[in-house]
């Protein structure tokens, strides 16, 4: 039987005012699909890109890429997932800003009893991103000194704690003193307040001229050049986002100075194979469970008011994870 669900949808790309609260009808789950009643939904910066059209979508769409809830129905080929089971996801594409959604079962991860729904919704996409960045894009190891931009953000707080847990000395960048304090409490040994400090020069000072083996850069346009300048020879620039805007085209020649590796990684590629998704989520649950990584849900909004969350994140007013409650 088709069900109706309230959802936050976009019919035209644009600002937060284009987000509308309306009812949609969901058909029965098809083969390989599940119907999930959502209990908590994670906000992610990519939701802004889907809304504005920076990552063009076929419209209309229900925004949102991360959530947790309970399976209400499954189609054929459910990979052993059952009605009534608690699940969470951070891949599978838009559709999360809704009371209920259909999603491919290959994206669903069974939720362990000791991981609350709000923590899962706050951490699946952001935490598995931190997982692949510190364990696969560049294997962070004891003794590494690394640089993380937007250290007090959603991904940032998790990434800094995880890297410290692996034995790294973490240098973080933030925009305010308040964010600096938070980043210091969550894994950063050094925090650079970027409007005041030249981060590439400070990284050279801290590393006694050597530079860092990896920069995790989600800020993009405003940081890219100095991120390159912060690297040690053969260093990795992991450009995993563009919160400040898209990096303009570059000539590969600019990488020659340090024989630098430049990568533009995405969670959707790293965790496309189900075994990678399950291993990644297991690793995330383990660091949460051990207390090595604390998930900070610093802002909660009613789902209906998701536009307010978009405004606050874009204005850099948030820290840690933002959760929407249906
Ligand atoms: N590739 C992947 O697999 C992947 C997965 C997840 C997320 N991401 C990317 O990672 C980034 C972080 O995502 P998130 O959801 O955790 O967001 P977030 O870091 O909580 O929010 C963005 C932060 O970026 C910083 N920033 C710098 N310049 C900015 C500007 N002009 N406008 C807005 N923010 C600016 C701000 O921190 P300060 O004020 O401290 O500078 C802001 O708090 C996003 O770019 C996202 O697309 C990529």
Domain ranges of the chain: 3-124+273-325, 142-264
Give the sign of the dihedral formed by CA 127, CA 116, CA 67, CA 300: negative
So what's the pLDDT on residue 27? 96
Question: Among 96, 243, 313, which is best to mutate for testing ligand 1, by the most ligand atoms less than 8 A from CB?
Answer: 243
Please, which pLDDT band fits residue 101 given cuts at 50, 70 and 90? very high
pLDDT digits (tens, 9 = 90+) for 267-315: 999 999 999 999 999 999 999 999 999 999 999 999 999 999 999 999 9
Instruction: Say what the pTM is.
Output: 0.98
Under CATH, domain 3-124+273-325 is a member of which superfamily?
Medium-chain alcohol dehydrogenases, catalytic domain (3.90.180.10)
* DSSP structure string for 265-312: --HHHHT-SHHHHHHHHHHHHHHHHHTSS---EEEEEEGGGHHHHHHH
Cα 224 to ligand 1 centre (Å):
14
So what's the pLDDT on residue 205? 98
- The continuous run of DSSP H or E covering 37 comes out as strand 33-42
**Domain 142-264 coded CATH 3.40.50.150:** no
Please, which pLDDT band fits residue 1 given cuts at 50, 70 and 90? confident
- The answer to whether residue 39 scores a pLDDT higher than 90 is yes
Residue 325, Cβ neighbours under 10 Å: how many?
16
So what's the pLDDT on residue 195? 85
Atom of ligand 1 nearest to the CA of 222: 28
For 38, 51, 252, the CA distances from 60, given in Å and listed in that order, are 20, 10, 38
Q: Is the CB of 156 under 6 A from ligand 1?
A: yes
| CB distance 211 to 186 below 8 Å | no
Cα 23 to ligand 1 centre (Å):
30
Please, which pLDDT band fits residue 99 given cuts at 50, 70 and 90? very high
Cα 314 to ligand 1 centre (Å):
9
Please, which pLDDT band fits residue 326 given cuts at 50, 70 and 90? very high
- The answer to whether residue 68 scores a pLDDT higher than 90 is yes
Question: Among 43, 91, 241, 321, which is best to mutate for testing ligand 1, by the most ligand atoms less than 8 A from CB?
Answer: 241
Task: Give the mean pLDDT of 229-254.
Answer: 97
Please, which pLDDT band fits residue 38 given cuts at 50, 70 and 90? very high
Question: Among 91, 125, 147, 150, which is best to mutate for testing ligand 1, by the most ligand atoms less than 8 A from CB?
Answer: 150
């Amino acid at each position: 039987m088709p069900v109706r669900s309230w959802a936050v949808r976009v019919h035209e790309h644009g600002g937060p005012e284009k987000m509308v609260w309306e009812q949609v009808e969901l058909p029965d789950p098809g083969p390989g699909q599940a119907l999930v009643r959502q209990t908590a939904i994670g906000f992610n910066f990519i939701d802004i890109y889907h809304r504005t059209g920076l990552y063009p979508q076929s419209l209309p769409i229900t925004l949102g890429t991360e959530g947790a809830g309970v399976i209400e129905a499954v189609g054929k080929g459910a990979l052993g997932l059952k009605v009534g089971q608690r699940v969470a996801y951070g891949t599978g594409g838009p559709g999360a800003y809704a009371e209920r959604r259909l999603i491919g079962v290959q994206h669903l991860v069974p939720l362990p009893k000791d991981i609350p729904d709000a923590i899962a919704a706050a951490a699946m996409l952001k935490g598995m991103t931190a997982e692949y960045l510190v364990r696969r894009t560049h294997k962070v190891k004891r003794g590494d000194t690394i640089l993380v931009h937007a250290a007090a953000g959603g991904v940032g707080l998790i990434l800094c704690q995880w890297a410290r847990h692996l034995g790294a000395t973490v240098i973080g960048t933030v925009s305010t003193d308040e964010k600096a304090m938070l980043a210091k409490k969550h894994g950063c040994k050094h925090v650079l307040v970027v409007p005041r400090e030249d981060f590439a020069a400070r990284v050279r000072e801290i590393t006694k001229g050597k530079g860092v083996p990896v920069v995790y850069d989600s800020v993009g346009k405003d940081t890219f050049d100095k991120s390159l300048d912060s690297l040690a020879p053969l260093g990795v620039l992991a450009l995993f986002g563009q919160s400040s805007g898209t990096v303009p085209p570059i000539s590969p020649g600019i990488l020659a100075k340090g024989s630098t590796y430049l990568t533009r990684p995405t969670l959707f590629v790293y965790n496309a194979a189900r075994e990678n998704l399950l291993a990644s989520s297991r690793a995330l649950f383990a660091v949460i469970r051990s207390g090595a990584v604390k998930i900070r849900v610093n802002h909660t909004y009613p789902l209906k008011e998701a536009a307010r969350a978009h405004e606050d994140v874009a204005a850099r007013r948030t820290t840690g994870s933002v959760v929407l409650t249906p």
